[in-house]
């Protein structure tokens, strides 16, 4: 056992991945499928990277994954190889366009859809090794609340829920948050409204969900922003080039960029609060 721990330590030390102080884990999820989670995750990651932060996108839509397809970068190794213990977490990290690091989820493997507790535990251990190597770890999950997605939501420090203005998507987003909450979990959710006709529609959609979440779940639901409905998204998908690279000036890319800057601003505030909180506590100890 000790030998194994030592081997892992050595493995971590010998990798040339840059170390950052601590990795923030963010999960991206939705109630309804096809609302734009994967495209958002990818382009949000690229926007964060453009601002000087290292990001690893982790395709957690296990078994139905497609981040590698969106990136146009076939991945020789994916989660399947990790779970079968053929590869380590370091071996399955791929580099996509713009130097974006990602881990492919693997698709078409029936075995991946239902993971045993033992496999999930090993998986969690391996993911923990990533701590400190990137600023942000972004989990792109499948739609709806499976046992696996719930684990990703609970493992993250915050979860971004993506919805569109369509009532079905809104209802499902609310249902997902309700399920998580009624299972007794306190999760920091934030909202992104995708495919809005204009900002007014985005604001109305966000206000609707926020009010219902506050009233019935006693839950605060900060809004990260809106992304316009934009034909360039589909064009980029067809070309297998991320939107922010193919059409950086498109309305959707600009929306995602704004979300990234708001996200980073909040991050800075959070860290400052942490530091000032630290000084407050120190002062109290001294007085």
Maximum C-alpha span of the chain:
63
**Binding of residue 38 to ligand ATP (CB under 6 A):** yes
| 105, 65 contact by CB (below 8 A) | yes
Cα distances (angstroms) measured from residue 51 to each of 18, 61, 97: 17, 26, 16
Angle between helices 199-217 and 167-182 (to 10 degrees): 30
Nearer to ligand ATP, 39 or 101 (CB): 39
Cα–Cα distance between 132 and 129 in angstroms, integer? 8
**Binding of residue 194 to ligand ATP (CB under 6 A):** yes
The interface region with ligand ATP, picked from 35-43, 83-91, 122-130, 217-225 by CB under 6 A, is 35-43
Task: Report the SS3 class of residue 191.
Answer: strand
Cα–Cα distance between 256 and 277 in angstroms, integer? 31
- State the Cα angle at 30 between 29 and 33, rounded to 5°: 120
Residue list 245-264, contact with ligand ATP (CB under 6 A): 252
**Binding of residue 43 to ligand ATP (CB under 6 A):** no
The interface region with ligand ATP, picked from 28-36, 73-81, 146-154, 272-280 by CB under 6 A, is 28-36
**Binding of residue 38 to Mg ion (CB under 5 A):** yes
Cα–Cα distance between 180 and 50 in angstroms, integer? 33
The site partner of 195 among ligand ATP, Mg ion, none (C-beta below 5 to 8 Å per kind) is ligand ATP
Size of the site for ligand ATP (CB under 6 A): 20
The alpha carbon of 175 is separated from its chain's Cα centroid by a whole number of angstroms, namely: 20
**Binding of residue 55 to ligand ATP (CB under 6 A):** no
The interface region with ligand ATP, picked from 32-40, 73-81, 145-153, 174-182 by CB under 6 A, is 32-40
The site partner of 229 among ligand ATP, Mg ion, none (C-beta below 5 to 8 Å per kind) is ligand ATP
Per-residue contact track with ligand ATP, 162 to 181, x per CB under 6 A? --------------------
Q: Nearest distance from residue 242's CB to ligand ATP, in Å? A: 11
Number of other residues whose CB lies within 10 A of the CB of residue 237: 17
The alpha carbon of 110 is separated from its chain's Cα centroid by a whole number of angstroms, namely: 24
Binds ligand ATP by CB under 6 A, chosen from 34, 76, 222, 277: 34
258 CB-contact burial (10 Å; exposed 0-12 / middle 13-18 / buried 19+) = middle
Residue list 211-250, contact with ligand ATP (CB under 6 A): 227, 229-230, 233-234, 237
**Binding of residue 33 to ligand ATP (CB under 6 A):** yes
Interface residues toward Mg ion, by CB under 5 A:
37-38
């Amino acid at each position: 056992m000790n030998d194994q721990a030592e081997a892992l330590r050595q493995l971590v030390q010998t990798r040339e991945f840059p170390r950052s102080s601590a990795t923030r884990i963010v999960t991206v999820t939705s109630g309804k499928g096809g609302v734009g989670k994967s495209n958002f995750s990818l382009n949000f990651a690229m926007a964060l990277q453009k601002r000087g932060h290292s990001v690893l996108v982790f395709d957690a839509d296990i078994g139905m994954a497609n981040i590698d397809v969106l990136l146009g970068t076939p991945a020789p190794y994916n989660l399947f190889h990790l779970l079968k213990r053929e590869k380590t977490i370091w071996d399955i990290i791929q580099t996509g366009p713009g130097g974006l690091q990602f881990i492919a989820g693997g698709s078409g493997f029936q075995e991946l859809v239902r993971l045993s507790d033992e496999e999930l535990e090993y998986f969690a251990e391996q993911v923990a090794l990533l701590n400190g190597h990137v600023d942000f770890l972004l989990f792109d999950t499948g739609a709806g609340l499976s046992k696996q997605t719930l684990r990703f939501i609970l493992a993250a420090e915050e979860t971004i829920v993506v919805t569109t203005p369509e009532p079905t998507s809104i209802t499902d987003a609310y249902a997902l948050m309700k399920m998580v909450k009624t299972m007794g979990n306190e999760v920091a959710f934030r909202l992104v409204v995708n495919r809005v006709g204009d900002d007014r529609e985005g604001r109305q959609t966000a206000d609707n969900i926020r009010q219902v979440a506050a009233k019935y779940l006693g839950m605060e639901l900060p809004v990260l922003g809106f992304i316009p409905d934009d034909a360039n998204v589909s064009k980029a998908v067809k070309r297998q080039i991320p939107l922010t690279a193919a059409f950086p000036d498109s309305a959707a890319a600009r929306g995602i960029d704004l979300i990234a800057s708001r996200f980073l601003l909040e991050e800075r505030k959070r860290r400052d609060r942490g530091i000032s909180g630290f000084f407050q506590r120190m002062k109290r100890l001294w007085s």
